[in-house]
Amino acid sequence: MKQIIATEKAPAAIGPYSQGTIYGDVVYTSGQLPLVPETMQFVEGGIKEQAKQSLENLKAVLEESGAGLDTVIKTTCFLSDMENFSAFNEVYTEVFGTENAPARSCVEAARLPKDALVEIEAIAHKK
């Protein structure tokens, strides 16, 4: 049976969707924007700051589900500009490392919600 994930430690959904769902032992998150949960405004700064905030939001949703960054199987990362790829990778590597990094797709999107620079979603396994 499907379970909905909801936490105040990550931004509320800005549309008709949940922060994530659990089916069995698998967690599927919605794309996490670089919104500060308390203000629902973008974190100040550029791609590195936005990537870090999106990953913090992703972590909060995963932890609420009983998973964690260490159980992520696959991420899909959307960048508004592939010129930000190297800077994004620096932050992503700080979080996931290289030894046990999940599978990943990283694509440029013509436009992200609220004109974000990055959005990140994940599939993980519950602990």
One-letter amino acid at 57 equals N
* 92/37 Cα distance (integer angstroms): 20
User: Which residue numbers are catalytic?
Assistant: 106
* 98/66 Cα distance (integer angstroms): 23
Using alpha carbons only, what angle is made at residue 13 by residues 34 and 15, rounded to the nearest 5 degrees? 115
110 and 89 Cβ atoms separated by less than 8 Å? no
Q: What is the pLDDT of residue 58?
A: 98
* 120/106 Cα distance (integer angstroms): 9
Domains defined for the chain, CATH in brackets: 2-125 (3.30.1330.40)
Q: What is the pLDDT along the chain (127 residues), one digit of tens a residue?
A: 999 999 999 999 989 999 999 999 999 999 999 999 999 999 999 999 999 999 999 999 999 999 999 999 999 999 999 999 999 999 999 999 999 899 999 999 999 999 999 999 999 999 8
Rounded to 5 degrees, φ, ψ at 20 are 175, 175
Match 């994530």 to its residue by tokens: 20
Q: What is the pLDDT of residue 29?
A: 98
- Kindly report the pTM of this predicted structure: 0.97
